[in-house]
């Protein structure tokens, strides 16, 4: 229950309408799966998809994966039934609900209250099921701070680039890739805005999908940009993208080793035995308390990845 802080380097999308893909996803090395009731499922297939998802969660076999279900957004008629059917049916085997196209804090609070009622009704610990908020339009981005603060259940803020690009009329059809006519990175502001809100509230920041699923090099290039800023992971739409995501959102081995070395050295030099020093030389590099904090980020990511 709840998965705040668990690795989410690769978040695999699995359409709830495909029993075959729900079965296959269990054995794949993604950190997270999200079983989709939203845009990967046709309107007429949604009732059956809810049932497939409940069965797949209860059947088990998901290992250590963070188990998430994406419900439909609150402008549709489907959201309440999605939440009630999935959580009543499989709440004990579910870590979080993903709410797409979130526009404000009230929408997150609606989900929080509904989850609380279901948890009380079926006897689950109140607050155990987390919320992942997908930012996919201008309202969501402008209100991202209040969305991040809306409930203690919120665990991640996710960038939904495809819907976002459509909603702001971006002149491109290639999700996440740089636009030749624009001399800079058109996603930089959006990613940083999401990252600041996530960090302010100790949440994970997750990058969205890359649709050219056969081009793993292009996926890696896009992922490297958000990873460099500090994002914790990215959606994967195909098994072929999983290894790349796990690698890109883990530190390089040399950086991890160096970070652990900084932490060891700094612990020694600041101790009584090491001379109670505040700033010291490690080879050609000066390290101080700020270096320790930076090293702790890289070491923390590496440890979480089992390095
Ligand atoms: C994901 O939902 C996206 O719209 O990119
Ligand atoms: Mg979307």
70 is in an annotated binding site: yes
- The closest-lying atom of ligand 1 relative to the alpha carbon of residue 159 is 5
The bound ligand whose nearest atom lies closest to the alpha carbon of 13 is 1
Instruction: Tell me what pLDDT residue 177 has.
Output: 85
Instruction: Tell me what pLDDT residue 111 has.
Output: 98
Residue owning the nearest CA to atom 2 of ligand 1: 160
β-pair type (280-282, 130-135): unpaired
Mutate to test the pocket of ligand 1, among 13, 39, 174 (most ligand atoms within 8 A of CB): 39
207-240 per-position pLDDT tens digit: 999 999 999 999 999 999 999 999 999 999 999 9
DSSP calls for 104-158: SHHHHHHHHHHHHHHHHHHTPPTT-SEEEEEE-SHHHHHTHHHHHTS-TTEEEEE
From the CB of 84, is ligand 1 less than 6 Å away? no
- pLDDT of residue 1 exceeding 50: no
How many angstroms separate the CA atoms of 173 and 88, rounded? 39
CB within 8 Å of 204: residues ≥ 6 apart: 4, 5, 8, 155, 156, 157, 198, 232, 233
How many angstroms separate the CA atoms of 70 and 39, rounded? 9
Which has the higher per-residue pLDDT, 180 or 107? 107
From the CB of 36, is ligand 1 less than 6 Å away? no
CB within 8 Å of 68: residues ≥ 6 apart: 11, 32, 33, 34, 35, 94, 95, 96, 97, 98, 132
The chain-wide mean pLDDT, for the chain, equals: 95
30-55 per-position pLDDT tens digit: 999 999 999 999 999 999 999 999 99
How many angstroms separate the CA atoms of 100 and 207, rounded? 14
> For the chain, what is the total number of helices (H) and then of strands (E)?
12, 10
93-126 per-position pLDDT tens digit: 999 999 999 999 999 999 999 999 999 999 999 9
Lowest mean pLDDT among 89-93, 122-126, 200-204, 283-287: 283-287
From the CB of 160, is ligand 1 less than 6 Å away? yes
Contact 299, 267 (CB under 8 A): no
Cα of 73 from ligand 2 centre, angstroms: 10
How many angstroms separate the CA atoms of 269 and 119, rounded? 50
Mutate to test the pocket of ligand 1, among 134, 157, 219, 226 (most ligand atoms within 8 A of CB): 134
Cα of 3 from ligand 2 centre, angstroms: 22
Cα of 165 from ligand 1 centre, angstroms: 9
Question: What percent of the chain shows pLDDT beyond 70?
Answer: 99
- pLDDT of residue 2 exceeding 60: no
Lowest mean pLDDT among 55-59, 85-89, 159-163, 178-182: 178-182
Cα of 280 from ligand 1 centre, angstroms: 46
Which strand (E) or helix (H) includes residue 59?
A: helix 46-59
From the CB of 209, is ligand 1 less than 6 Å away? yes
Residue 57 has a CB neighbour count (10 Å cut-off) of 23
Cα of 241 from ligand 1 centre, angstroms: 16
Instruction: Tell me what pLDDT residue 176 has.
Output: 85
Q: Would you say how long the chain is, in residues?
A: 307
| pLDDT band with cut points at 50, 70 and 90 for residue 135 | very high
Under DSSP, the state recorded for 93 is: G
How many angstroms separate the CA atoms of 112 and 92, rounded? 16
How many angstroms separate the CA atoms of 261 and 250, rounded? 17
How many angstroms separate the CA atoms of 78 and 43, rounded? 9
Residue owning the nearest CA to atom 3 of ligand 1: 160
Burial degree of 285 (CB within 10 A; 0-12, 13-18, 19+): exposed
pTM of the full structure: 0.94
181 is in an annotated binding site: no
From the CB of 140, is ligand 1 less than 6 Å away? no
């Amino acid at each position: 229950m709840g998965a705040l802080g668990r690795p989410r380097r690769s978040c695999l999308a699995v359409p709830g309408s495909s029993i075959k893909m729900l079965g296959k996803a269990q054995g794949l090395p993604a950190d997270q799966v999200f079983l989709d009731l939203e845009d990967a499922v046709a309107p007429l297939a949604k009732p059956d998809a809810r049932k497939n998802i409940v069965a797949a969660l209860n059947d088990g076999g998901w290992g250590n994966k963070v188990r998430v279900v994406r419900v439909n957004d609150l402008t549709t008629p489907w959201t309440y039934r999605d939440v009630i059917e999935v959580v009543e049916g499989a709440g004990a085997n579910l870590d979080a609900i993903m709410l797409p196209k979130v526009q404000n804090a009230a929408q997150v609070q609606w989900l929080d209250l509904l989850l609380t009622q279901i948890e009380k009704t079926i006897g689950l610990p109140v607050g155990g099921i987390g919320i992942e908020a997908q930012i996919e339009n201008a309202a969501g981005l402008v209100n991202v701070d209040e969305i991040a603060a809306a409930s203690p259940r919120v665990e991640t803020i996710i960038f939904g680039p495809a819907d976002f690009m459509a909603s702001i009329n971006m002149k491109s059809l290639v999700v996440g890739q740089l636009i030749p006519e624009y001399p800079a990175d058109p996603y930089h502001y959006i990613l940083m805005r999401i990252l600041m809100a996530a960090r302010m509230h100790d949440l994970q920041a997750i990058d969205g999908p890359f649709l050219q699923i056969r081009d793993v090099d292009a996926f890696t290039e896009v992922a490297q940009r958000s990873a460099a800023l500090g994002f914790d992971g990215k959606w994967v739409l195909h098994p072929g993208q999983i290894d790349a995501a796990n690698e890109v959102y883990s530190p390089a081995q040399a950086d991890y080793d160096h970070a652990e070395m900084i932490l060891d050295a700094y612990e020694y030099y600041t101790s009584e035995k090491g001379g109670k020093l505040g700033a010291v030389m490690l080879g050609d590099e000066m390290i101080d308390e700020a270096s320790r904090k930076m090293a702790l980020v890289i070491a923390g990511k590496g440890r979480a990845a089992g390095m």
